[in-house]
Chains A and B, each alone.
Chain A
Amino acid sequence: MIKNYIKIAWRNLVSQRLFSFINISGLAVGLAVCMMIMMYVAHEMSYDRFHENADRIFIPQQSFTMNGNTMNMEYMSYAAGEIIKQRQPVVKDYTRTMAYFKPVIASNPEKPDAKFSEKNLLFADGNFFSFFSFKLLSGSAQHVLDRPFTVVLSEDMAKKYFGDENPIGKTIVLKTDSAFTYQVAGVAENNPSNSSIKYSFVTSNQSLLQMKEAKLYTGTKDISFGNFLPYLLLNHASDTATLRRSLDLMAKQDKTFDKVHYSLSALSTTHLKSNFGDSSNLKYLKIFPLVAVLILLLALANYMNLSTARATLRAKEVGVRKVSGASRKTIAAQFYVESALFTTLSFVLGYVLCYAFKPWFLNVLQLKIDSSFLYSPMVLILLAVLFIITILIAGSYPAVILSAFKPVATLKGKMSKATGGVAVRKVFTTLQFALSVGLIICGIVIDRQLYFFRHKDIGINRDNVVMIPVHNTFGNNYNAFKQDVAQLSGIENVATSHHSMFHGYDMVSINGKTKDDITMVASWMGDDQLIKTLGLKWKYAPATGERLAGMDRLVINEAAIAKLHLPVDPVGSYLQSGDQKFKIIGVLKDFNYSSLQSEISPLILFTPPAKFPFFKRDGCNLFAKIKAHTNLPTLLGKIQSLYKKYDADTPFDYTFMDDAFNAQYQAEDRLSSIFSVFTYITIALASLGLFGLAAFTIEQRTKEIGIRKVLGASIGSINSLLSADFLKLVILSIVIASPVAWWAMHNWLQGFAYRINISWWMFAFAGMTAILTAVATVSYHALKAALANPVKSLRSE
């Protein structure tokens, strides 16, 4: 029986090639999108769950409120982990890590010339490899980190620095603040793509303690904020409530932090919760599954649309089968088998598409997913579930509709209109177009907002400014370097800034009237050329003859006046931070020193003199304003050779301020590119749906069209008669989609302090796109029907 079904299904597939192709590939595209997003979401959800004790590992988070601002801290002093373990019996074990905050320079002493800058040096306690479940390819988990200055390399690093040799026992030089030689004690697997703990090199905290700047990192001897992330292994996952309460109590008793509250975040949630850096993933994670489900439903609706439309042409077959004794059940089973065959082909094609476009997708999202993850049992199970759901849904509607045909009616060739399910099809098509229109509107709004960001006047002249990070390895040579660069032709001006632009800032506490009244304000530090180089404008300029540079002075922005309760023109007033006093010598007009997503907050700009040792100790950035029409590669080459003169080891690096500015909107950029692809796919699927609907309804109206032609209807009038029906659906879909899209985008825009207005032309544009697409799609069938010789259609009666 099944064999007979499959045979007939196959014949239908082959004899109706165009239809089959459209049907299978349409569903395949939907499935491919769905699979891709499913893998992505599964990957995000799987973060850190591969650790054996994942469900019992927690990170304590401290939060405290100061002047109305709640601060969350998860980095603690070195001592914190041990103290917590001592005093909290539910904590079975702990391990601490400190990710070194900047790249280090690594080299194999046997090949001293091959130096590379490497990210992800991790300092960790000796039990790191037994606490977590990262696999060691060589070395024993208990002993690899039990001495100072031993290191575990990731597989990639082992290959990079030692090639095919066995690196165990060999040495490698890692230059942090100064260069240290480490003995390789083990090689670990590369950290899995779904690990929030990243490492290329893992060395012991004991090594850190031996460095001269150790004190800077380890912090106080009690529980306080610091640089270490303490991971706690609890006896039972359910101990969190107890632990949280007794940590709060402990904080109260110690009085070190009496206003602190603790919470515990599970290891497996840290990735999604982390709001540092790129928070875009969370945005995608909310939007994508919705889009995936919608696109899959769209594709399924199309599939059902087309296959029922096509199958009504087979009404006669159903009639004959019923007359020859088939029950409704067997007919339903037959169509189910057919659907299963089609769906299977779609699924296979979808899988191929998904893998073909995966690199592009991951690239746009700037993601890395281990290929081992893609073949993990979890993903395979998800795929199987998707497959089964698709078959069940895809087969159901056609089977029900088609098996319900009445034999007498179908045999007489009098398929009544109702059995075709035209109404259902119309609903499907309308929803599909509504989704397309909605996505187009969203796409336009996102695109315009990004354009607005890129072109808004932010009060900083950011064109042609190159930012060059300079490290403390420059020692006393920084000023000489700065002078050299300033001398180059093509350089208009140079300035020093502590931070590079659009990469964050410091906070400084400003004393209020009472001892407890402290206000935290964003702070920035630069030399006296910074304001000029960036083209910042004065609100209240310094008095003539007043020096800009000096340890005792600072500049604020307009927003700071109100926040710090200063007089309207505060020039000449004083601010106190700790026990230091500063004179306000000028007020800058507000400018956007961070992303346009937020309002301009109060800012203090310290302007120490050029000799200030802080820059030397901490490193800084040289901002060079380049004259227009300068040959950039040549100029950058010259700057690089000057740089190498003073610091041969640290790689030369530079960023244009423009690029840094634009990079702030990377998340939105990516969202926008992915969105446009989703939009194209949706439009394509909706058109496909309309194509099917048009084919079907027009087929049913051939007799009517024939009669109208005999009576004198022109081709144009028939074309518009047929198209008008579909246009009504499209217009309805625009009416449905517009308010929803408006609402969604209105909410999205609320996330930005600086935003565009949603205007009517965006809706008009989206509507026109939908209408033109629909007209083009329908016209194919409408014209075909209008051009057909009426004698033929009437003859078949």
Chain B
Amino acid sequence: MIKITELQKYYRTEEVETIALNKLSIEVKEGEFVAIMGPSGCGKSTLLNILGLLDDPDGGSYLFNNIEVADFNERKRADLRKHNIGFVFQSFNLIDELTVFENVELPLIYTGVPSSERVGRVEKVLDKMQIMHRRNHYPQQLSGGQQQRVAVARAVVNNPKLILADEPTGNLDSSNGNEVMELLTDLNEQGTTIIMVTHSEHDARYSHRIIRLLDGQTVMENIMI
């Protein structure tokens, strides 16, 4: 599903040039659950942003479903993204002015799902995430765990083939964290490919495979059973 070869990303500031990704090559098959680990600043988020088509690489190739997307323009990337990829962030990134229901509904609006159909689909995922009773609450009125469940609901409402999660449990206590990991595992079992960045060995154990990065390069891959 995903194949990157010799991917490069630099950040230039006035003084220094940081190499965030240094000729990184990775392949992820459809249906896999991959964890990415590594010390702070090694380029995990950068990688995820590129995989999620939020950012473009400075070199190398990125095949998404066998299509070269490294040189896609902003509009094409946005189009591909909204139909295929869901995101879960460490800090949830819910819109404070919108209710739980409206937050989850957003991706459907942007992919042009008619409103009659939207209500049913949003209610279905909210139900699945066990957050239905909070549908009219605003994000600030929810606990961290609940907020992250809403974020996951929003990520999956469009039935994306790929979910990218950047430290999804980073702001949660262990029991809330485990709940989210169970959710992701369930989604994976139903066929969604998941790539997750994490600092926690515990969370990484939910995955099939761990890719370890150091200074923008793969240093080791562990295959879990």
Q: Given A704-B97, A791-B49, A791-B54, A711 and B82 touching (CB < 8 A)?
A: yes
Chain B residues with Cβ below 8 Å from A711 are: 82, 87, 106-107, 110, 154
Does B95 interact with chain A (Cβ within 8 Å)? yes
* A660 CB to nearest B CB, Å: 65
* A409 CB to nearest B CB, Å: 13
Chain B residues with Cβ below 8 Å from A704 are: 95-97
Establish whether residues B107 and A712, one from each chain, have CB atoms under 8 Å apart when the complex forms. yes
Establish whether residues B78 and A708, one from each chain, have CB atoms under 8 Å apart when the complex forms. no
Establish whether residues A710 and B91, one from each chain, have CB atoms under 8 Å apart when the complex forms. no
Q: Given A789-B55, A791-B55, A712 and B93 touching (CB < 8 A)?
A: no
Establish whether residues B91 and A712, one from each chain, have CB atoms under 8 Å apart when the complex forms. no
Q: Given A712-B110, A717-B110, A707 and B93 touching (CB < 8 A)?
A: yes
Does A713 interact with chain B (Cβ within 8 Å)? yes
- C-alpha spacing A711/B83, complex, angstroms: 9
Does A714 interact with chain B (Cβ within 8 Å)? yes
Per-residue A-contact encoding for B76-113, CB less than 8 Å = 1, 0 else:
00110111000101010111110000000011001100
For the complex, count residues of B whose C-beta is within 8 A of A. 25
Contact with A709, one of B78, B89, B91 (Cβ below 8 angstroms): B78
Establish whether residues A797 and B91, one from each chain, have CB atoms under 8 Å apart when the complex forms. yes
* B69 CB to nearest A CB, Å: 16
- C-alpha spacing A509/B72, complex, angstroms: 93
For the complex, count residues of A whose C-beta is within 8 A of B. 19
Q: Which residue of B lies closest to A794 (CB)?
A: B93
Does A790 interact with chain B (Cβ within 8 Å)? yes
Chain B residues numbered 45-92 whose CB sits less than 8 Å from any CB in chain A:
45, 49, 52, 54-55, 74-75, 78-79, 81-83, 87, 89, 91
* B11 CB to nearest A CB, Å: 11
* A75 CB to nearest B CB, Å: 74
* B171 CB to nearest A CB, Å: 11
Contact with B87, one of A710, A713, A715 (Cβ below 8 angstroms): A710
- C-alpha spacing A710/B87, complex, angstroms: 8
Does A703 interact with chain B (Cβ within 8 Å)? yes
Chain A residues with Cβ below 8 Å from B97 are: 704
Chain B residues numbered 155-180 whose CB sits less than 8 Å from any CB in chain A:
none
Establish whether residues A713 and B110, one from each chain, have CB atoms under 8 Å apart when the complex forms. yes
- C-alpha spacing A129/B128, complex, angstroms: 101
Q: Which residue of A lies closest to B50 (CB)?
A: A791
- C-alpha spacing A712/B155, complex, angstroms: 12
* B22 CB to nearest A CB, Å: 19
Chain A residues numbered 753-797 whose CB sits less than 8 Å from any CB in chain B:
789-791, 794-795, 797
Contact with A794, one of B78, B79, B81, B89 (Cβ below 8 angstroms): B89
Chain B residues with Cβ below 8 Å from A791 are: 49, 54-55
- C-alpha spacing A715/B74, complex, angstroms: 10
- C-alpha spacing A540/B1, complex, angstroms: 101
Chain A residues with Cβ below 8 Å from B81 are: 710, 712
User: Which of A706, A711, A713, A794 gathers most chain B CB within 10 Å?
Assistant: A711
Chain A residues with Cβ below 8 Å from B45 are: 795
* A707 CB to nearest B CB, Å: 5
Chain A residues numbered 447-466 whose CB sits less than 8 Å from any CB in chain B:
none
Chain B residues with Cβ below 8 Å from A795 are: 45
Establish whether residues A710 and B95, one from each chain, have CB atoms under 8 Å apart when the complex forms. no
* A101 CB to nearest B CB, Å: 75
Q: Given A791-B49, A791-B55, A712 and B95 touching (CB < 8 A)?
A: no
- C-alpha spacing A708/B154, complex, angstroms: 12
- C-alpha spacing A715/B75, complex, angstroms: 9
Chain A residues with Cβ below 8 Å from B107 are: 711-712
- C-alpha spacing A409/B93, complex, angstroms: 18
Chain A residues with Cβ below 8 Å from B55 are: 789, 791
Q: Which residue of A lies closest to B103 (CB)?
A: A707
Chain A residues with Cβ below 8 Å from B75 are: 714
Q: Which residue of A lies closest to B97 (CB)?
A: A704
- C-alpha spacing A797/B45, complex, angstroms: 14
* A678 CB to nearest B CB, Å: 38
Chain A residues numbered 698-733 whose CB sits less than 8 Å from any CB in chain B:
703-704, 706-715, 717
* A712 CB to nearest B CB, Å: 3
* A713 CB to nearest B CB, Å: 5
- C-alpha spacing A704/B96, complex, angstroms: 8
Contact with A797, one of B74, B93, B110, B111 (Cβ below 8 angstroms): B93
Chain A residues numbered 483-539 whose CB sits less than 8 Å from any CB in chain B:
none
Chain A residues with Cβ below 8 Å from B95 are: 703-704, 707-708
Establish whether residues A714 and B49, one from each chain, have CB atoms under 8 Å apart when the complex forms. no
Establish whether residues A708 and B54, one from each chain, have CB atoms under 8 Å apart when the complex forms. no
- C-alpha spacing A710/B89, complex, angstroms: 11
Chain A residues with Cβ below 8 Å from B79 are: 712
Establish whether residues A703 and B110, one from each chain, have CB atoms under 8 Å apart when the complex forms. no
* A89 CB to nearest B CB, Å: 82
Establish whether residues A710 and B154, one from each chain, have CB atoms under 8 Å apart when the complex forms. no
- C-alpha spacing A789/B49, complex, angstroms: 11
Q: Which residue of A lies closest to B46 (CB)?
A: A791
Q: Which residue of A lies closest to B155 (CB)?
A: A711
* B220 CB to nearest A CB, Å: 27
Establish whether residues B78 and A712, one from each chain, have CB atoms under 8 Å apart when the complex forms. yes
- C-alpha spacing A791/B53, complex, angstroms: 10
Establish whether residues A703 and B54, one from each chain, have CB atoms under 8 Å apart when the complex forms. no
Per-residue B-contact encoding for A276-313, CB less than 8 Å = 1, 0 else:
00000000000000000000000000000000000000
- C-alpha spacing A234/B154, complex, angstroms: 90
Chain A residues with Cβ below 8 Å from B111 are: 712
* A20 CB to nearest B CB, Å: 23
Q: Which residue of B lies closest to A797 (CB)?
A: B91
* A299 CB to nearest B CB, Å: 32
- C-alpha spacing A789/B79, complex, angstroms: 15
Establish whether residues A703 and B106, one from each chain, have CB atoms under 8 Å apart when the complex forms. no
- C-alpha spacing A790/B89, complex, angstroms: 13
Chain B residues with Cβ below 8 Å from A703 are: 93, 95
- C-alpha spacing A797/B139, complex, angstroms: 15
* B73 CB to nearest A CB, Å: 12
- C-alpha spacing A713/B106, complex, angstroms: 9
Chain A residues with Cβ below 8 Å from B106 are: 707-708, 711
Chain A residues with Cβ below 8 Å from B52 are: 710
Chain A residues with Cβ below 8 Å from B91 are: 794, 797
Chain A residues with Cβ below 8 Å from B54 are: 710, 789-791
Chain B residues with Cβ below 8 Å from A710 are: 52, 54, 81, 87, 93
- C-alpha spacing A794/B93, complex, angstroms: 8
Chain B residues with Cβ below 8 Å from A712 are: 78-79, 81-83, 107, 110-111
Chain B residues with Cβ below 8 Å from A713 are: 110
* A697 CB to nearest B CB, Å: 12
Q: Which residue of A lies closest to B75 (CB)?
A: A714
- C-alpha spacing A170/B170, complex, angstroms: 103
Per-residue A-contact encoding for B24-55, CB less than 8 Å = 1, 0 else:
00000000000000000000010001001011
Q: What are 13 of the A-B contact pairs (CB < 8 Å)?
A: A703-B93, A707-B94, A707-B106, A711-B107, A711-B110, A712-B79, A712-B81, A712-B82, A712-B111, A717-B110, A789-B55, A794-B91, A797-B93
Apart from A708-B95, A797-B89, list 8 A-B contacts with CB within 8 A. A703-B95, A707-B95, A707-B106, A711-B87, A711-B110, A712-B107, A789-B55, A791-B49
Nearest 3 A-B pairs (CB), nearest first? A712-B82, A712-B110, A797-B91
